[in-house]
Chain A
Amino acid sequence: MNTEVVNKMSVKSLEELRKLREESKKKVSLRKDGEGDFIELMVGMATCGIAAGARTTLNALLDEIENKNLENVKVVQVGCLGYCHSEPIVQVNEPGKEPIIYGNVDDKRAREIINKHIINHELIDDAIIIETYKKP
């Protein structure tokens, strides 16, 4: 598939414009600022996290978010979360809820977080490290 050749056709209706907009939106979806109802996924990317494979985790999250066309989720990488024994770590911040921290998140579990926690609102019990942590 060659995505470089974009069909530069004249836009002749609002439908065509909106189709073009949907495609273009993907390119700029990262640029929504913190306000509003965003679910924030924080991935610990300190030395311990990276060594334990956090980049794979990060990419898996991003890939799954794109696969499922989720618009209200943003993935932010952060420094050490302090749970080095269970890296890679992913913290889920949902507006109005207490943060949930998952440990040992590999590719598979990352996708599970998206599909179960984010989409179906089910917690993945056996992967939770801590859920009573209050955001400072």
Chain B
Amino acid sequence: MKGKGGFMNTVRSHIMVCGGTGCVSSGSDKLIDLFKEKLSSVEYDSEVKVIKTGCFGFCGQGPIVKIHPDNVFYVQVTFDDVDEIVEEHIVKGRVVKRLLYEEPFYKRKVQSTSKMDFYKKQYRVALRNCGLINPEEIEEYIAFDGYEALGKVLLEMSPEDVTGLLKDAGLRGRGGGGFPTGLKWEFTAKSPGDEKYIICNADEGDPGAFMDRSILEGDPHSVLEAMIIGGYATGANNGIIYIRAEYPLAIKRLNIAIDQARELGFLGKDIFGSGFDFDIRVKLGAGAFVCGEETALIHSVEGKRGEPTKKPPFPSESGYLNKPTTVNNVETFANVCPIILKGADWYSSIGTETSKGTKVFALAGSVNNVGLVEVPMGTTLREIIYDIGGGIVDGKKFKAVQTGGPSGGVITTDDLDTPIDYESLKNIGSMMGSGGMIIMDETSCMVNIAKFYLEFSQDESCGKCTPCRIGVKRMYEILERITEGEGTLEDLEKLELLANMIKSSSLCGLGQTAPNPVLSTMNYFYDEYREHVEKGYCRAGECKALMKYSIDAEKCIGCTACARVCPVNCITGKAKEVHVIDQSECIACGACFDACKFDAVIKP
């Protein structure tokens, strides 16, 4: 077959379009179609390929389009930009500067990812293939060392070698618990039993966290391969991926990946001719937060109610169907293959004394570069928020960052330079959690944030144990009262008492950690709680019920209409002079607003 140039056409460029959920929802699927149409209309379709890939992590700037081999990174690409990219960049080799990312501080355009602050400080292990490969083609995963680790494990290593290697590497559970993975595998391996199971916990539920989804969408084989290795190391022949049904794209790609792995014999009987059999099935969950807890998750897989049970017995002794079971998080699995291939020394050289390797964080909230970042353990919050995250939106002042989701707490300016690892975060009253990081500026009310998380926890409480079911609800009600200006100082004492009681008496992690957002915000922002209670004042201006009416001095002509209708006589001012509302007396009835004919009364 001869191409137009008189010889075989060689593909010379790849247009990578992000196919993660974030970019898909801003239209990346249609972008792909438009690129293909345009390329064929200029007869470049045989030499330029359009590839749908996984999440680049730069979600706030999506849809993302990256062009290889030029290494040009376009952001916020719309349907109308396709023609220009093809006509200018592909046909004439001219970069479309307009679509390059502009660094928020220096206001300069950056062309390649290697020069972007967002990527410079990142170190991608778990996300190594996201944005690089087409997740729906196993050959692309294989091209980047895929299934090499599995071959090495099955043909050259004993199960003890594998658990030993992971222990030496120092890999710890990325779901938030931080339990050493090698040890967990070893416990299951040593538990007596003819049948064992390995489960992947993809029930990602923390508000704001989406790293597990992105890994499954962008690089599903990395999880499958690690599960097979885990099966071999623990003596399990069956793997189950427990994933919430709200992740349709991840589920679709997982199923494609499983089929392809079966086709090439990485799943099934006699894998790599080693005599080891292993298969994986996908189990959909209904998206209950409590099912992220391993005992609840196992019950849900069994078809029972997703409720936790007491530990011990630990799943490694008696888990799924009362058989020894290992439960690991998606991100944990995504770290396994690089460790096998590059060794324990390499892995343990990254990170801090107690926490090795990297961690993926989902940046959200009031930060310029909303997205997914992977950094070595020991990176400081300041580096993550300012260097990678590009600082606070609109140049506002940083107030706090919430980590660990509903189980974690807030971290303030004082601790911005703390190197992050499992222990350091715990020491400052928060926790690693699954890696959600919500950045807040001065316009965020800390009482309100605590209320937000409690609302989530009381909704998600499974109801099995009383402290969590009733206690968290009572706490939520108190917070609701405070944000509405009806709280008392006694309420603050009650909150603290309840919080500590729930922490110490709940059955599972959900209840044991649910009061953390309250305790942590009370610890760092007690002043704000007091202001709400004593003065009915919310300094961030977020608690709407506490907002008072005010008068715009520019617009007020001094007609006295407002003062005459005010039922509590809190508006003062002489005729033809600017009037003022005494906010401590204002009952926010709105009568002045209705009375003013000059739009001078400002509604809260």
Interface positions of A (Cβ within 8 A of B): 8-14, 17-18, 20-21, 23-25, 27-28, 30-35, 43-47, 50, 55-56, 58-60, 62-63, 66, 74-79, 107
Specify which of A23, A45, A55, A74 is in contact with B5 (CB 8 Å cutoff).
A55
Is B147's beta carbon under 8 Å from chain A? yes
Tell me the complex Cα distance, A38–B146, Å: 24
Given contacts A12-B273, A17-B142, contact A35 B114 (CB under 8 A): yes
Tell me the complex Cα distance, A60–B3, Å: 12
Q: At the interface, is chain B mostly helix, strand, loop or mixed?
A: loop
Is B345's beta carbon under 8 Å from chain A? no
Specify which of B8, B13, B94 is in contact with A30 (CB 8 Å cutoff).
B13
Q: Is the CB of A31 within 8 A of B14?
A: yes
Q: Is the CB of B132 within 8 A of A12?
A: no
User: Shortest beta-carbon distance, B39 to chain A, in Å?
Assistant: 14
Q: Which residues of the partner chain A approach B13 to less than 8 Å between Cβ atoms?
A: 30
Q: Is the CB of A56 within 8 A of B5?
A: yes
Q: What sequence of 0s and 1s flags, for each residue 137-148 of chain B, a beta carbon within 8 Å of any chain A beta carbon?
A: 001101111111
Q: Is the CB of B112 within 8 A of A78?
A: no
Q: Is the CB of B264 within 8 A of A11?
A: yes
Q: Is the CB of B266 within 8 A of A11?
A: yes
- Near A by CB (< 8 A), chain B positions 437-496 give none
Q: Is the CB of A25 within 8 A of B143?
A: yes
Q: Is the CB of B71 within 8 A of A33?
A: yes
Q: Is the CB of A59 within 8 A of B272?
A: no
- Near A by CB (< 8 A), chain B positions 1-30 give 3, 5-14, 16
Tell me the complex Cα distance, A60–B8, Å: 10
Tell me the complex Cα distance, A59–B5, Å: 7
Given A11-B266, A33-B112, A74-B69, 8 additional A-B pairs, CB 8 A: A9-B264, A14-B152, A17-B148, A44-B93, A56-B5, A62-B10, A75-B12, A77-B12
Specify which of A14, A17, A78 is in contact with B93 (CB 8 Å cutoff).
A78
Is B417's beta carbon under 8 Å from chain A? no
Q: Which residues of the partner chain A approach B132 to less than 8 Å between Cβ atoms?
A: 28, 31
Q: Is the CB of B68 within 8 A of A27?
A: no
Specify which of B91, B151, B263 is in contact with A17 (CB 8 Å cutoff).
B151
Q: Is the CB of B139 within 8 A of A30?
A: no
User: Shortest beta-carbon distance, B44 to chain A, in Å?
Assistant: 9
User: Shortest beta-carbon distance, B228 to chain A, in Å?
Assistant: 13
Q: Is the CB of A14 within 8 A of B148?
A: yes
Q: List 8 A-B contacts (CB under 8 A).
A: A11-B151, A14-B155, A17-B272, A30-B69, A56-B5, A58-B12, A59-B47, A60-B5
Specify which of A8, A47, A56, A76 is in contact with B70 (CB 8 Å cutoff).
A76
Tell me the complex Cα distance, A45–B112, Å: 20
Given contacts A12-B265, A31-B69, A66-B10, contact A79 B93 (CB under 8 A): yes
Q: Is the CB of B5 within 8 A of A24?
A: no
Q: Which 3 A-B pairs have the closest CB atoms?
A: A10-B265, A77-B93, A24-B143
Q: Which residues of the partner chain B approach A20 to less than 8 Å between Cβ atoms?
A: 139, 142, 264
Is B108's beta carbon under 8 Å from chain A? no
Tell me the complex Cα distance, A33–B72, Å: 10
Is B113's beta carbon under 8 Å from chain A? yes
Specify which of A11, A28, A33, A59 is in contact with B265 (CB 8 Å cutoff).
A11
Is B98's beta carbon under 8 Å from chain A? no
Q: Which residues of the partner chain A approach B91 to less than 8 Å between Cβ atoms?
A: 45, 50
Closest B-chain residue to A74, C-beta based? B69
Q: Is the CB of A12 within 8 A of B272?
A: yes
User: Shortest beta-carbon distance, B90 to chain A, in Å?
Assistant: 8
Q: Is the CB of B272 within 8 A of A30?
A: no
Tell me the complex Cα distance, A77–B93, Å: 5
Tell me the complex Cα distance, A23–B138, Å: 12
Number of interface residues of B (CB under 8 A): 45
Q: What sequence of 0s and 1s flags, for each residue 236-272 of chain B, a beta carbon within 8 Å of any chain A beta carbon?
A: 0000000000000000000000000001111010001
Specify which of A31, A34, A44, A46 is in contact with B114 (CB 8 Å cutoff).
A34
Is B133's beta carbon under 8 Å from chain A? yes
Specify which of A12, A45, A66, A107 is in contact with B92 (CB 8 Å cutoff).
A45
User: Shortest beta-carbon distance, B121 to chain A, in Å?
Assistant: 15
Q: Is the CB of A30 within 8 A of B5?
A: no
User: Shortest beta-carbon distance, A6 to chain B, in Å?
Assistant: 8
Q: Which residues of the partner chain A approach B68 to less than 8 Å between Cβ atoms?
A: 30-31
User: Shortest beta-carbon distance, A53 to chain B, in Å?
Assistant: 10
User: Shortest beta-carbon distance, B295 to chain A, in Å?
Assistant: 37
Given contacts A28-B133, A59-B47, contact A79 B92 (CB under 8 A): yes
Q: Is the CB of A75 within 8 A of B264?
A: no
Tell me the complex Cα distance, A35–B93, Å: 20
Q: Is the CB of B14 within 8 A of A59?
A: no
- Near A by CB (< 8 A), chain B positions 94-111 give 94
- Near A by CB (< 8 A), chain B positions 148-177 give 148, 151-152, 155
Q: Which residues of the partner chain A approach B6 to less than 8 Å between Cβ atoms?
A: 56, 107
Q: What sequence of 0s and 1s flags, for each residue 64-79 of chain B, a beta carbon within 8 Å of any chain A beta carbon?
A: 0000111100000000
Tell me the complex Cα distance, A50–B12, Å: 16
Q: What sequence of 0s and 1s flags, for each residue 111-132 of chain B, a beta carbon within 8 Å of any chain A beta carbon?
A: 0111000000000000000001
User: Shortest beta-carbon distance, A40 to chain B, in Å?
Assistant: 9
Specify which of B3, B94, B263 is in contact with A59 (CB 8 Å cutoff).
B3
Tell me the complex Cα distance, A8–B261, Å: 11
Q: Is the CB of B151 within 8 A of A14?
A: yes
Tell me the complex Cα distance, A60–B47, Å: 12
Q: Which residues of the partner chain B approach A55 to less than 8 Å between Cβ atoms?
A: 5
Q: Which residues of the partner chain B approach A13 to less than 8 Å between Cβ atoms?
A: 151, 155, 272-273
Q: Which residues of the partner chain B approach A44 to less than 8 Å between Cβ atoms?
A: 93
Tell me the complex Cα distance, A37–B164, Å: 36
User: Shortest beta-carbon distance, A16 to chain B, in Å?
Assistant: 9
Tell me the complex Cα distance, A48–B11, Å: 23
Tell me the complex Cα distance, A66–B7, Å: 12
Q: Is the CB of B10 within 8 A of A24?
A: no
Specify which of A21, A33, A62, A77 is in contact with B113 (CB 8 Å cutoff).
A33
Closest A-chain residue to B152, C-beta based? A14
Q: Which residues of the partner chain A approach B148 to less than 8 Å between Cβ atoms?
A: 14, 17-18, 21
Tell me the complex Cα distance, A59–B47, Å: 9
Q: Which residues of the partner chain B approach A107 to less than 8 Å between Cβ atoms?
A: 6
Tell me the complex Cα distance, A14–B155, Å: 8
Tell me the complex Cα distance, A13–B266, Å: 11
Q: Is the CB of B264 within 8 A of A8?
A: yes
User: Shortest beta-carbon distance, B69 to chain A, in Å?
Assistant: 4
Q: Which residues of the partner chain A approach B113 to less than 8 Å between Cβ atoms?
A: 33
Q: Which residues of the partner chain A approach B142 to less than 8 Å between Cβ atoms?
A: 17, 20-21, 24
User: Shortest beta-carbon distance, B405 to chain A, in Å?
Assistant: 33
User: Shortest beta-carbon distance, B118 to chain A, in Å?
Assistant: 14
Tell me the complex Cα distance, A4–B148, Å: 25
Q: Is the CB of A63 within 8 A of B10?
A: yes
Specify which of B9, B69, B139 is in contact with A24 (CB 8 Å cutoff).
B139
